[in-house]
Structure 1
């Protein structure tokens, strides 16, 4: 079957040249994940090269399924925010070994996959009010930016105020600042690949100042894949991981669904506000997350950067085929990615910019409605300040139904939200008891 007929080029008013250009545009805008994801998970004790390979495999699989089965120009790759949650909250904060954390990703992904095949998925999406969905996304953005600022040495710990400005005489700090400025200038000029090009600019500055150690070879066979492959540990599961699994599941569900609908709307592929073939699209992400956990990476997500490809005319899944092939072509360039990740000044500005872009969800919150805005506010500031996405989400899911109850509007709350409120309340009580006995 000809490519044009299989992907319905004529029906969606596109052609092969446009789809290839769209795939290239999407890949360039999201290529930073090849450096940033292994760099973040490496801090959890995982092997950089192993995560690099896992990142590519999960991205290729999810993006191909999205393109060939769902026929959407929406790329899939390990999600920003979830990799930070995996490393800084679960592994470093909760002291859970990364193989157990990967097992929690695997379980959450299986649940997501099973629910993607049922109508319960839509019920869960409807259960969470829009204000909380928006605040969760924005709160994760603040969390990512906060981590980026720390990695860039633009802020540092303080015994007096907990956090203070960093030392700008530190080479990492001023190089990060210059790289961030370059990314911001590209961003305000609406350059689609601002994040990726900003990383290259930072890398050039670091090279000129002698801060980068070049590898012996820029190309190598992916021989380190086994360092993270099938390393899941189900034996060391703790009660804390139940909340972790639930948080992973919620983020995968809301973030992926919102991004897919947004990109499909931008491409003009929604039908009367409906998202056609949603089951296949959600399954693409769920399968990628499941396989990604087996290979050795945090959950995947639909990428908002897919909008770059849509903006130049991408309308079919062939855009994703091109993105997947480009990801696969990077399989032998782990030394280059590791070199770029070795200097915080190169990757930290990307985290800050990604965090900023995720703040756009705040416009979906009615700040004049206290019942909606106050729970959203607690989610928004509690995620970065508690250094825990779970705590922030839990605070919002407890406070929202509580306010509705005291206002006599308990019937406006979806029954599932009361279940979430009880579960998170029990989780906070158990954490408090555990802390008291520690």
Structure 2
């Protein structure tokens, strides 16, 4: 035990083994949905669902262990949401249109190349320089923006907010469908909505009385309430009771292991390069934003706003991405849900190791972990979002206008465009432009110019006709 305490420097970080383990389990439960969502989405692309489940769990465990051991950060990694959607619903349909029989093999090849590029960029410390060159006000805006982002993810997952059009009933009884708002209130009588709010209140009460593991207990309590609601006949959704009838051994990796299509690269290099760039772009800035947000939440940033061992942290997800592509899953990246464990007191790599162990156990106890519904993790996401919003208090709203506008755009564009990467993009673009316009071009670090150029290129690709 003493070796563990010394290796992870628990005393220096003001934590202990119990706290770190609870934090790791909390992080896992907050992101366990990926074990259900990712196989389902990639199955739509023609991949074997069971093999993807195993690949998702194994790659997440591998990458998270690397993060914990070499970077000593409480950050977990797994196949990234958004990136898997691009994989399944954009890349693969496009490739099918080109006559490719197994489009997912091309997509996995692109992810392999992306991971190798990231390893090279991390080796030359470009990604590390990017993290440490982002201005403090932008970092705090990014942290608060991630808080809002994961809050809206939680609200949407539980059905508390919806993007569906809703009916307005007039006095004469006629109904018209309104789409005048971007989001609307969900069905407040839905069991998932009610239970999610109950879970949030439970976490709040336990937090007030300083009960250790409040967020974890909140997730579990909400799940148990859901099971009771199901047995009582109120909850009519998918079963919340674990089903072990299919056994506990994990599905084979054989259908997806090392399934690459390098022949496509030579025949369609330009198309392949475009696919790689899209994966590269989103993963690069999502990872940077997530690391900044988690580090700020855990008090891991230095006084001047820099992230120690950023290189090791960034190398972890680069290696994880390569491993994931070999095993047969979409891009592996740092998870913003790691803030749930940080909120529980996780401060070191032992939290990450604990999360990795849970991913390994999930291979054999998947019926239990996959039975936890999204409405049970919503309370955790909302409460963590609340905690991350404290970064707004560190932001400066007077002084350098570049810092003010850049931080503000980073804050609001994440939830309103449903993308961490978009928030960073608009924040950095505005910051650089305003620095130039206000005669402070010397304040712009060379790495920020590179990021600016990448974002300008991204904007061009978005606005140019297909």
With normalisation by structure 1, the TM-score equals 0.77
Equivalent pair of 1:78/1:300 in contact (CA under 8 Å): yes
Residue 404 of structure 1: aligned partner: 435
Which whole-Å CA distance do the structure 2 matches of 1:246 and 1:180 have between them?
A: 35
Deviation at 1:241, TM superposition (A): 5.2
Residue 459 of structure 2: aligned partner: 428
Which whole-Å CA distance do the structure 2 matches of 1:102 and 1:355 have between them?
A: 33
Aligned: 1:246 with 2:281: yes
> Given the alignment, which residue of 34, 38, 41 partners 1:37?
34
1:126-161, Cα deviation, whole Å (9 max, x unpaired): 332222233333323322221221221211234122
Distance 1:382 1:325, change over 3 A: closer
Deviation at 1:198, TM superposition (A): 1.9
Residue 349 of structure 1: aligned partner: 379
Equivalent pair of 1:63/1:284 in contact (CA under 8 Å): yes
Which whole-Å CA distance do the structure 2 matches of 1:108 and 1:272 have between them?
A: 31
Equivalent pair of 1:142/1:384 in contact (CA under 8 Å): yes
Which whole-Å CA distance do the structure 2 matches of 1:271 and 1:406 have between them?
A: 29
Distance 1:305 1:51, change over 3 A: farther
Which whole-Å CA distance do the structure 2 matches of 1:122 and 1:308 have between them?
A: 25
Residue 225 of structure 2: aligned partner: 205
Aligned: 1:133 with 2:134: no
> Given the alignment, which residue of 200, 205, 216 partners 1:196?
216
Which whole-Å CA distance do the structure 2 matches of 1:357 and 1:106 have between them?
A: 36
> Given the alignment, which residue of 376, 379, 387 partners 2:410?
379
Equivalent pair of 1:35/1:347 in contact (CA under 8 Å): no
Residue 336 of structure 1: aligned partner: 368
Residue 291 of structure 1: aligned partner: 323
Distance 1:374 1:51, change over 3 A: farther
With normalisation by structure 2, the TM-score equals 0.73
SS in 2 for 1:300: strand
Which whole-Å CA distance do the structure 1 matches of 2:427 and 2:286 have between them?
A: 14
Deviation at 1:372, TM superposition (A): 0.9
Deviation at 1:4, TM superposition (A): 5.2
Deviation at 1:204, TM superposition (A): 1.2
Distance 1:102 1:310, change over 3 A: farther
Distance 1:68 1:140, change over 3 A: closer
Q: Which runs of 5+ in 2 are unaligned?
A: 95-102, 166-178, 265-270
Equivalent pair of 1:40/1:87 in contact (CA under 8 Å): no
Deviation at 1:348, TM superposition (A): 3.2
Residue 160 of structure 2: aligned partner: 154
Residue 217 of structure 1: aligned partner: 244
1:61-103, Cα deviation, whole Å (9 max, x unpaired): 2344355556x3x344226xx8333256775588778777666
Equivalent pair of 2:142/2:293 in contact (CA under 8 Å): no
> Given the alignment, which residue of 290, 295, 300 partners 1:255?
290
Residue 150 of structure 2: aligned partner: 144
Distance 1:224 1:135, change over 3 A: farther
SS in 2 for 1:160: coil
Which whole-Å CA distance do the structure 1 matches of 2:186 and 2:243 have between them?
A: 33
Distance 1:254 1:163, change over 3 A: closer
Let me know the Cα RMSD of the aligned residues: 4.1
Alignment: residue pair count: 417
1:223-261, Cα deviation, whole Å (9 max, x unpaired): 154566546677564636524412311332453367468
1:170-227, Cα deviation, whole Å (9 max, x unpaired): 2232222223322333344444533332221121111111133534417511015456
> Given the alignment, which residue of 98, 120, 123 partners 1:117?
123
Which whole-Å CA distance do the structure 2 matches of 1:272 and 1:382 have between them?
A: 25
Equivalent pair of 1:382/1:392 in contact (CA under 8 Å): yes
| Higher mean C-alpha displacement, 140-149 vs 298-307 | 298-307
Equivalent pair of 2:21/2:354 in contact (CA under 8 Å): yes
Deviation at 1:333, TM superposition (A): 0.9
Which whole-Å CA distance do the structure 1 matches of 2:322 and 2:216 have between them?
A: 27
Equivalent pair of 1:67/1:321 in contact (CA under 8 Å): yes
SS in 2 for 1:382: helix
Residue 23 of structure 2: aligned partner: 26
Which whole-Å CA distance do the structure 1 matches of 2:123 and 2:296 have between them?
A: 18
Which whole-Å CA distance do the structure 1 matches of 2:442 and 2:307 have between them?
A: 28
1:34-62, Cα deviation, whole Å (9 max, x unpaired): 52222443563447755553443234323
| Higher mean C-alpha displacement, 26-35 vs 233-242 | 233-242
Which whole-Å CA distance do the structure 2 matches of 1:179 and 1:48 have between them?
A: 31
Which whole-Å CA distance do the structure 1 matches of 2:110 and 2:450 have between them?
A: 21
Which whole-Å CA distance do the structure 2 matches of 1:258 and 1:150 have between them?
A: 21
Which whole-Å CA distance do the structure 2 matches of 1:272 and 1:153 have between them?
A: 40
Residue 84 of structure 1: aligned partner: 81
